[in-house]
Structure 1
Amino acid sequence: MDGEIRTRFKTICVYCGSNSGNRAVFSDAALDLGRELVKRRIDLVYGGGSVGLMGLISQTVHAGGCDVLGIIPSALMPIEQISGETIGEVKKVSDMHERKAEMARRSDAFIALPGGYGTMEELLEMITWSQLGIHDKPVGLLNVDGYYNPLLALFDKGVEEGFIKTSAREIVISAAKANELLEKMELYTPRHDQVASRTSWELSQLGYSKPPI
């Protein structure tokens, strides 16, 4: 396919809102990220909703010929999905804990678009899992029009006040544009001190029978 870009990632998990936000810049960013994934032939794992930014990115990736997998807890299926034809594959899980573990297991990296409490909670859990040593996959923040500036400032404040190590602050990769973010994630190498090795964790909870690569 013309315009394809070689990548280290086969599948990326994208966390994003089930709303579109109040400004077009957020929808534009979701569409742009979707197109960048297609250029690189990267499949998508996401929360499974078909509305808001989740709907935009899943439609874009699917229309571009890449696989899309939505992972939804049973209780949220009637809330997060609208009626009509489902985009890509949907996997139903029992609860939010299983959802996050399954999304992590099936992905080579993680990206957060702008979103609310749920998006931020999922993002922070993947950052924490990296710090603990549960995974060593890149965690990216698409900082559209400075949306996440206050959160990044809080991380910096955590370093300043001695709650976050400088090396652990580098777990979070951020950029304003999708192509720049993906390029940074391609180059990511963990440099922080992990709390424990992957062999120390109950990795079966993430679907691993051996330490993940």
Structure 2
Amino acid sequence: LRLINQYGRERGERGLPKLLPGLNFIAGLNGERTETYSLNLNLLRDLRNEGLLLRRINIRQVEGEGFQDIPEKEFKSFKSAVRDTIDSPLLQELFPLGHVLKDVHWETHDGRTRLPVHLTEEHVGEHVHGRAGLTFGRQIGAYPILIGVPYHIPLERSSSIMITGHGARSITGVEIGLEINAATEKQLEAIPGIGKKAAWNIVSARAKLKRKEERPSIESIFASAKVQLDSTIQSVFADE
């Protein structure tokens, strides 16, 4: 684990560490004791206290003839402690807010299950970009993190995102490189620092300014909408 961290934790071009280890814990193996769960949890805590990174922690059960019974209370307590005190901080360290991930491949709309309909024009066409809904995608690789975006992105293509939130074992984000004069209300809402009301004010202010000029600047749009334009918001938009 130390050796892989030493050479693999450096972030690569797509924004993630180049190579990280994973651990599998299998409950129900012969010889296991109730103390095994506290020993395993202490091991994970020692690894984290040392500053070592883990890409994944799988917790599995074996059942059937030839294996011993799993102590339900200890198993559930161990699994809950790992998810809450190990996985969650790891996720936030590996995927910090504001960090950019590149080459996210968009797979599904409004659910995590890939369906044949997702290959139709209704889901891959440019006209769906920015519509209300959810889009899920991943970077291509081993154990890629699930990424959700709170609006529709045409499927079967890739883009870069800025991380805006964390789930239990997934993250949320917003595309970078959006155009201020084309961004929809739903896309604006997804940007940190812009809520539903501010997004509507921006869309309204933009429409009024466009009566006088074809492509008003991001500064003039935000000023007219009375919405603060900070560096995080500005980093989401393409240079005009």
Q: Which of the five TM-score ranges fits, normalised by the shorter chain?
A: under 0.3
Higher share in strand: 2
Larger relative contact order (CA 8 Å, sep ≥ 6): 1
TM-score (norm 1): 0.28
